[in-house]
Structure 1
Amino acid sequence: MTQAYDIVVVGAGMVGAALATGLGQNGFRVALVDRDTAADFDPTQPPDLRVSAISAGSERYLRQLGAWNRIIAMRATPYARLGVWDAARHPLSNLLPATLGRTVFSAQDLKTSHLGHIVENRVTQRSLWQCASDQPTVSLLIGCSVQAVSQQEDQATVMLDDGTELTCQLVVGADGAQSRVRDMAGIGTERDQYGQQAMVISVRYRGTVEDITWQAFHPSGPRAFLPLHSAGEDYPGESWASLVWYDSPDTLNQLKALDRPALLARIQQAFPQELPTLTHVDACASFPIARQHAKQYSHGRITLVGDAAHTINPLAGQGVNLGFQDALCLQDLLKECRRNGLDLADRTSLQRYEQLRRPANRRMMLAMDLFYYLFSNRIPPLHLARNLGLGLAQALPFAKNRVARYAMGIEEELPAALQLLASRLPALPLP
């Protein structure tokens, strides 16, 4: 059986579902293909281990798609402050004021209500699936995987594992860091594996929902706190949070082998004193982290978005925001193609997509690596430099607010000094 579409989007995660929704709203005939289905939402269940910091820029895009109100109706936690500090101890530490090596970004300083929202990935994905399903020109082909993609002069053909053939003008790979579509297109990647891994931990703590998310940098890696929602009537006076602990694979394996009470005690001991008193560890998992960038974003009638095109250090939870920016950019360029009567795989338009998105994605990749490199070491001069840098950021509100606006997706450029530092980073080894 053969089905004809304008565009086939492979991968119905957050970015793929967002792109399919936006294209459907503009009248494109879209097939959204994924072998898995979006998880159902149950308000009584513990939070998803996977969460993202949704920026203000992404929030605007999700509102445009009609997904944001659905997300809020499930659950999302706004944060108004972002704290960053150096938790490493060195001989130089005794020579520096305790407040020098920390800074706090504040929504109040930016004259806005919040910096962003912490949202469970399954909540965002579920909302976007509902939006995609509402579009009459979008077909969700669930339980299917792509077996082959072939390209002809006037169309591409996608063969599914159930024997269905899909024809289209453009295939979009939104199928993640291990993208099969990217492999089928013959697009290579540049990849650097970090020495550390990241462990995410769902916990309950004593207290009301906090309005701050923070990251304390240790030589072994950052330790982060992301506030989530109230724990509800079953656990009065308690709230949920997501913790992130970067460390060596051996250390994280040892932590995962502990029983829950022992793990809770280790976390409370190892995290900064700003961590609220924990009452329960619900779940944890660790994963390797890598910087990866596709050598090109398109080949013929195949193009890439989100993690299929790039993955970054998850230090500030910015990966999905970059993916949403990819989706919005590609969506707008495809609308322009149609207005001008062009093939949706028009080479000039796809080159324009890469020209717009590659530099922006690379800037964020390098910015995250800059922080990672500066803080993930025990070199005393760098310890002094990073403390002075954080202290200077706190003392110079204009520069600090520029960084905050960049992270929020309000501004597209990093401050010049950070751009200069980041531009030198490729020559530096990953810790």
Structure 2
Amino acid sequence: MYEDRTTAGALSTAADHPVILSDGSPPLTRQALRNDALGLRHRVPRGATVALVGPGSRLVAAAIVALEGWAARVELVGDLSPAVSSPDAVVLRSDEIDGVPGPPSTDDGASTRGEVDQVHTAWRLFSSGTTGLPTPTDHSLDSLTRRTRPADNRLDRGDRESRRWGLLYPPMRMAGIQVLLQAIHGGDSLVDAGTAELEARLDRFVRSGVDALSATPTMWRMILRSRAGDRLPLRQITMGGEIATQSLLNALRNRFGARITHVYASTEAGAAFSVNDAIEGFPRHYLDTPPGGVALDVRDGVLFVHAPGSSTAAPDGFVSTGDLVELRGDRVYFVGRASGLVNVGGDKVSPERVEETLRQHPAVQDAVVVPRRSSITGWVLTSEVVLAPSNDGLAPGDLRSALRAFVTEQLSRSHAPARITVVSELSLSSTGKASRA
């Protein structure tokens, strides 16, 4: 059974090795997960629907081990309104359970790892709701663990040291789940520094010896500007959620010299594939020879992923990612979101393309572009930019004129932002992406 491999199998060695380390709670070890230390099976009737509420990585890790094959559905509500969950769900709140062990289960869990009384568990993740109401997608644990790296694989490749991951994502969103599953399934540990400011979390990671970190490209640019960034002893850099540009990949490689992995995963499609060559985009041959057996397709410029385990899959098993891609030579490049394209003066404009053009200007370190409605041109572009230390001291008016001229020269006049605001840091969404609100 697959559950054997992801839970009992993954926890069979180094039973006292910590899986989750977090402030204010004792480490959650492999043995504790095996023994259902939080008493989730006692709290949840077999075959029930469960809603996990709050920021707790400990609760999610415990649920992955204890409730797979036990609950009919686990809904990862996280920091969203509890109203998005099913009205009949058993609600488990991290602030009530994380530090309070439950009564011992009367079931030793053996039946959840075999054929007897096996319950198929659906894992329900929600979109962030930044563009409307959060929408649910159901996955199997199999689809969620497609890109995790098992401990046995690591040993086979000669890497005998486990990794210590820092958690920068909400643990109940897709990116956070991926890091948690890597800790559980890959024989690694995870340090949860909570929801403090980024600099404080990075300081905690340095003190805890974190050597593997997953973040969005926007967060990685912030890490490169941080004081603690230089002190991180990173061996593994992972990113996802936004376009990984070549300029960022080069900067990370030069700063840390670590292995760089770009993971492609979404709430709707689950974990699809990863790229480890530190080159923007992904190899074109992935379309013909699916990596890890996950078929990909490009339809009308949009990437589709074969994810029959997702509740949003079409009858052919494919899920539209909504990501626009371009085929150039032997590479496939991400160019933006299909839903983000806007008409500016008769031209189709991708905000992501304008952002990367702004970053190429020597006065700019980072940028986000947000379209706004216009009664004259249909849409206009507005932008926030973070200046590079060597911005030549341009006056605000001169800087804005220089940036508009630069974008016009590289793209076209319709791509030039009508309003440009200088900020010290970009605002982040709840999932670590540049906020486009």
Q: Normalised by the size of structure 1, how large is the TM-score?
A: 0.24
* Bigger helix share: 1
Q: Normalised by the size of structure 2, how large is the TM-score?
A: 0.23
